[in-house]
Amino acid sequence: MPKEIERKFLVKGDSWRQLAQGSVYRQGYISTQKEATVRVRIANNQGYLTIKGKSEKYTRSEFEYEIPVADAQEMLDTLCDRPLIEKLRYKVEFGSLVWEIDEFDGANKGLIIAEVELSDEHQQFELPDWIGEEVSDDPRYFNSNLAKFPFAEW
């Protein structure tokens, strides 16, 4: 079963911006139950359907499938809860890992989160100087919750 092991952090400063270019992501949620979420995403002119299981510490099951972009657009327009998640995603290599930095727009404008995927929950890694407070255990920062309770309303 495919697993995602991920840690999330707030981002401080702007030094990371010179390290990568952002790609536009639009995503929405068809279902956001405690046991599983179903997400539709368009990124780099490609559609994706993703099903994620319940988080246990930093780990959860994840199944992601490419779908036609026209299908993804139709799902975003007609099936997904509002507001949609709009963001620029930057990928920055640091050490042996790739950090994904999400700069949110729309209802979550002003929020910047960095995520790093690990091979196991106990993997040791170095933090770049632009990493701030860890928010891995704070469910407010899950994208599925940002779609229900946007950052602008906190």
* pTM (predicted TM-score): 0.93
Between CA 65 and CA 123 the distance in angstroms is 27
- In the chain, which stretches have pLDDT less than 70? 1
Q: Active-site positions?
A: 29
Number of domains present in the structure of the chain:
1
- Give the containing element (helix H, strand E) for 28: strand 23-32
**What CATH number has the domain bearing residue 61?**
2.40.320.10
Which of 119, 5, 3 has its CA nearest to residue 58? 5
Cα separations (Å) of 129 from 13, 16, 89, 102?
9, 9, 19, 17
pLDDT of 107 reads 96
Say whether 104 sits in a helix, a strand or coil: strand
Neighbours of 44 (CB within 10 A): 9
Q: What is the pLDDT of residue 1?
A: 64
Give pLDDT, residue 60.
93
Q: What is the pLDDT of residue 34?
A: 83
Domain range spanning residue 19?
3-153
